Amino acid sequence: MARKEMDIHIRIKRQEDKILQLTHQLEEEKEKYSELQKELEEAEKQELYHAFRKSKRNYEEVLEFLKGKADI
């Protein structure tokens, strides 16, 4: 027995629902990604700060090095 072709309106409605669901899921994942980026940025800041505190260089020397003006 052949399957009856679904009404086009039903197929469109299902596709719209699927798109809305995926859009919502994408927004949630974007938020998670943004939070992870913030965590990474904070971890990098902490790592730089601790490296600076351990170094024997003063603030000006480190700043010049980061700007690419340091004499190595």
Quick: pLDDT tens for 56-68.
999 999 888 889 8
Q: Alpha-carbon distance 31 to 43, whole Å? A: 18
* 11-53 confidence digits (pLDDT tens): 999 999 999 999 999 999 999 999 999 999 999 999 999 999 9
**Its pTM surpasses 0.85:** no
Q: Alpha-carbon distance 72 to 65, whole Å? A: 9
Residue 72 is which amino acid? Answer: I
